[in-house]
Amino acid sequence: MADFGYKIQEDRQINYDSNDRTLFYFLKRVEPSISLCIGCGTCSATCTVGQFTQFDLHKIMLYVRRGEKVHIANEIKKCMLCGKCSLVCPKGINTRNIIFQTRKFLHSNK
């Protein structure tokens, strides 16, 4: 069959009704400060990993909150747990613990 080059575009819309937010609810329980994130980006600005890779903590956290499936496991591995993000966060969010707990969750839900 001739290939005309047409394809079905993937839906970019976040479907909040059907998305699975189990990881977020888990993080909210173990580290309630996650709710305070306003997406200011200070954590990402100070992040050494972010300087050299696509790693972006506040964006990952936002995807988690919306229940969007991203390659969290791969992304979160890049973090060196240096904790500079916790140091600079104006909302006092324990970002380091969020990453730590996310790893824990992913490990136990393998």
Question: Where do contacts with another protein occur on this chain (CB under 8 A)?
Answer: 12-17, 28, 32-33, 35-36, 38-39, 59, 62-63, 65-66, 68, 91
Residue 24: what residue type?
A: F
CB 67 within 8 A of CB 19: yes
Of 40 and 82, which has the nearer Cβ to another protein?
Answer: 40
Q: What is the number of residues in the chain?
A: 110
Q: How far is the CB of 30 from another protein (least distance, A)?
A: 14
Q: How far is the CB of 80 from another protein (least distance, A)?
A: 25
Question: Using the 8-state DSSP alphabet, how is residue 19 labeled?
Answer: -
Q: Decide: helix, strand or coil at residue 16.
A: coil
Of 14 and 87, which has the nearer Cβ to another protein?
Answer: 14
Which is nearest to 102 in space by CA: 45, 47, 64, 53?
A: 64
Of 12 and 107, which has the nearer Cβ to another protein?
Answer: 12
